[in-house]
Amino acid sequence: TTAPNPGCVLDFTLNAPTSSPSPTPTATPSLTCSVSSADIIIALDRSGSMNKVIGNKLGLNWEKEAAVSFLNYLQSQPAATQNNVRVGVVAWAGVNSLVTSLPLTNDLSSVISWVNAIGGSSQDYYSCIDCALDKSASLLTTPSHRRYVILMSDGVGNRIVSSFPQNTQSSCTSPTPPSCTNVQPLELQCERANTNAITRANTLKAQGLIFHVVGYGSRVAPITMNEVTLEGISSGTDFY
């Protein structure tokens, strides 16, 4: 995917089928840099739905494997290329104050270690996608660099930035998002949470951020991901 300004061009080819029986997310990006630098945030969904089995392992583990594969590829590049790329990480679930992050760095080994340590939490298992977008944007503060977010998720949102932190269904309507529906196997979804995420992504795209979105789950019955949200966040016309 080519961004509107000259410099680093970040391309992805992923083998990540989203239907049963087993997704195999293998990141094989191509990275070339000529003038400007690239800043990349890898945003990983650690919510409850990503701590369920997809294929033959937890969805979060698929995410972490894809992220590490990407980072290993970057480490295999010449030093001049590595020095031109900074990578950070955001890990999120449903509570905005519990979103964790690793700031941008050239130390890819430390990024791999940070990714491998990400886990789910019984105290934070809903999903606030726009919390992830907000945190990612806050780390991408150098407009002269190409700024990328690689978002990995099933696209099922049920919290917004201002939601109460309690992990109870009542906090879905107080203060909202309203209209939460428990649709199995997608579980609890809130339309406002999904539309907030798309609106926030569009605002950030207008500011120059580029979103690559990797979806996890099944797009055939039983459907376990929200394609509309994933497509709406992506800078392209689809997601991986």
Q: What is the pLDDT along the chain (240 residues), one digit of tens a residue?
A: 333 333 444 444 444 444 444 444 444 555 544 446 999 999 999 998 888 888 888 889 999 999 999 999 999 999 888 889 999 999 999 888 899 999 999 999 999 999 999 998 877 878 899 999 999 999 999 999 999 999 999 888 888 887 765 444 444 444 344 455 555 445 667 778 888 999 999 999 999 999 999 998 877 666 677 889 999 999 987 788
Coil, strand or helix: which one is 68?
helix
CB neighbours of 145 closer than 8 A, spacing ≥ 6? 7, 36, 37, 38, 39, 86
The DSSP H or E segment spanning 209 is strand 209-215
